[in-house]
Structure 1
Amino acid sequence: MKYNTDALSTVTLEREVPNEVLSEDTVIHKLGPQDLKTFKQLIEIFKATLEGQSKKEIDEFSLNSMLRHVTFVGYVAMKDDEVIGGLTAYEIRSYYKGESEVILYNLAVSPKYQGKGIGKLLMQTILNFAKEREHSRLFVGAKKQGTAAIDFYRNTGATEYQTAKFVYDL
């Protein structure tokens, strides 16, 4: 497993993933302002794999703005220069010291690469990022109907809370 040196200073897995599952040419890359093309490839994976994702045309202006925004965090898993999965998240600052948080917005892996430890590696990468930035917790939402997502988060160490979610459609 190789890491882009710009992604993280160190990445460790709390749960070891067998070497035969993750090949040496899988790279985790932290998205930056220069990564519009890569980000667009990740959005296409989101559109193809995540239930409820918009099928609308990608807005490049918005993507460029996101890539430059100080609170945006994005990572992609790449194999042979192909985006095979990734995640987007946001840092949320708190009024109080030591209580800032990370919200995981989307995480997906291309169907061809699911079940090979890529999702777990991405999850560990964002958890390590949050710890290094001294955030107090990472939040993620999953639909009750999405049992695969719920199982994934339970299996990667998340604690489940029962909450109500309210949405205003504008």
Structure 2
Amino acid sequence: MNNKYVTYKKLLSGNEKDFHDLVLLFNDVFETENDVNKENIRRLLNNPSFVCLVAFHHHEVIGGITAYELMSYDKPGSVMYVYDLAV
């Protein structure tokens, strides 16, 4: 999705650098250490239950959200669990 100022993208396998940059943004916003586990990033982007959406401004990561699709135990279907969100 694009508009005049911001581009949005769902990250998939092969988008490890963009996810890495998002994790650095999360670390900055949440004031945590700048640790990024490259193997975990690769695994998450290959996990069909994991969703990562990133916002870019002029090719720079300016925000994003990570979530997990979880099977519901009380009814058919699944729910989305938002894990992190930062802008």
Q: TM-score, normalization: structure 2?
A: 0.89
Q: Larger helix proportion, structure 1 or 2?
A: 1
Partner residue of 2:11?
A: 31
- What CA deviation, in whole Å up to 9, does each residue of 1:41-66 have, x standing for no partner? 00011000025x4x152110010000
Moved over 3 A (4+): none
Q: Matched residues in 2 for 1:31 and 1:69: separation?
A: 11
Number of positions where the alignment pairs a residue of Structure 1 with one of Structure 2: 86
Residue 76 of structure 2 corresponds to which residue in structure 1? 97
User: Of the two structures, which has the highest relative contact order with CA contacts closer than 8 Å and spacing of 6 or more?
Assistant: 2
Task: Tell me, in whole angstroms, the C-alpha distance in 1 between the residues paired with 2:14 and 2:38.
Answer: 13
C-alpha separation between the residues in 1 aligned to 2:54 and 2:68?
A: 15
Sequence identity, in percent? 35
- Structure 2 residues not aligned, in runs of 5+: none
Letter in 2 for 1:31: L
In angstroms, what is the RMSD of aligned CA positions? Answer: 1.6
Conserved 8 A contact 2:6-2:56: yes
SS at structure 1 position matched to 2:76? coil
Normalising by structure 1, we get a TM-score of 0.47
- Contact 2:27–2:34 under 8 Å retained in 1: no
In the alignment, what sits opposite 2:46? Answer: 68
Unaligned runs of 5+ in 1: 5-22, 110-170
